[in-house]
């Protein structure tokens, strides 16, 4: 039986194709990382659990950085094919259900990190099925991502399973209310460049939402 193509898998493939197209030194929206740095991060995250523990900084961060640099030093074609092939067979993430849980949001955001780092990009319109895979997973992690926001955050998806529903992600004395497609809301939650969203709140509070550390 042919395996269903999940959003995690299709975003992985599209990202690998795009990385080959733009090359290893292209910019991304992942801080100051190039595509080579981003690809090395993805490989480390999926295949080096001994080093992945330092991804979020802490006492193991220097070891993580060392391993990531070693991965990044490999030939670009080999790096991209490793990203494309996904987690090694021994990894729990190689199981399709766990891959979807671990990588749907990760690969959607990083695919857009490469797409939107150069001018001329346009937002993609996800299908109903793709939104149904992305948004519930995004919603589960959103409160953790925005926990340092200095203002309250309410999002109102215009599509998907929560279309038209006000969802509070962060309490605050003053709120920023953000409405629009679930895909763009997902990127806004991560502090990425977006289009097609409506923001309600003071100018200062909207700026604070855009600049707080994720």
Dist. CA 186–CA 164, nearest whole Å: 15
Q: Tokens 């038209």 correspond to what residue?
A: 164
Q: Which two tokens stand for residue 170?
A: 């962060």
User: Looking at residue 204, what is its pLDDT?
Assistant: 98
Instruction: Provide mean pLDDT across the span 65-74.
Output: 94
User: Looking at residue 56, what is its pLDDT?
Assistant: 62
Higher-pLDDT residue of 41 and 60 is 41
Q: For 178-211, write each residue's pLDDT tens digit.
A: 999 999 999 999 999 999 999 999 999 999 999 9
User: Looking at residue 51, what is its pLDDT?
Assistant: 61
- The sign of the dihedral angle between the CA atoms of 147, 109, 102, 6 is positive
Q: How many CB atoms lie within 10 A of CB 50?
A: 11
Find residue 154's DSSP bridge partners. 168, 177
Q: What share of the chain is helix, strand, coil (3-state, %, to 5)?
A: 55, 10, 35
User: Looking at residue 31, what is its pLDDT?
Assistant: 92
Q: For 78-118, write each residue's pLDDT tens digit.
A: 999 999 999 988 888 889 999 999 999 999 999 999 999 98
Higher-pLDDT residue of 56 and 212 is 212
Dist. CA 49–CA 160, nearest whole Å: 34
Dist. CA 198–CA 20, nearest whole Å: 34
Question: Hey, what CATH class is 129-211 in?
Answer: alpha beta
CA distances from 156 to 23, 46, 109, 141, 184 (A): 37, 32, 19, 16, 11
Higher-pLDDT residue of 148 and 89 is 148
Domain ranges of the chain: 7-115, 129-211
Q: How confident is the model at residue 1 (pLDDT cuts 50, 70, 90)?
A: very low
Q: For 123-136, write each residue's pLDDT tens digit.
A: 999 999 999 999 99
CA distances from 9 to 120, 125, 136 (A): 25, 17, 17
Average model confidence (pLDDT) for the chain? 93
């Amino acid at each position: 039986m042919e395996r269903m193509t999940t959003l995690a898998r299709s975003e992985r493939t599209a990202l690998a194709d795009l990385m080959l197209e733009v090359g290893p030194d292209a910019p991304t929206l992942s801080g100051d990382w190039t595509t080579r740095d981003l690809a090395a991060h993805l490989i480390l995250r999926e295949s080096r659990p001994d080093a992945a523990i330092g991804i979020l900084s802490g006492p193991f961060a220097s070891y993580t950085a060392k391993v990531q640099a070693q991965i990044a030093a490999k030939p670009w074609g080999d790096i991209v094919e490793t990203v494309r092939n996904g987690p090694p067979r021994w990894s729990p993430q190689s199981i399709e259900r766990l891959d979807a849980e671990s990588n749907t949001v990760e690969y959607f955001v990083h695919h857009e990190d490469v797409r939107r780092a150069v001018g001329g990009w346009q937002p993609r319109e996800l299908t109903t099925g793709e939104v149904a895979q992305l948004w519930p997973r995004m919603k589960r992690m959103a409160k953790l991502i925005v926990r340092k926001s200095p203002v309250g955050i309410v999002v109102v998806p215009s599509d998907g399973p929560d279309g038209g529903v006000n969802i509070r992600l962060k309490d605050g004395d003053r709120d920023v209310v953000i409405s629009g497609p679930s895909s763009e809301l997902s990127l806004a939650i991560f502090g990425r460049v977006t289009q097609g969203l409506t923001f309600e709140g003071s100018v200062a509070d909207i700026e604070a939402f855009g600049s707080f550390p994720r």
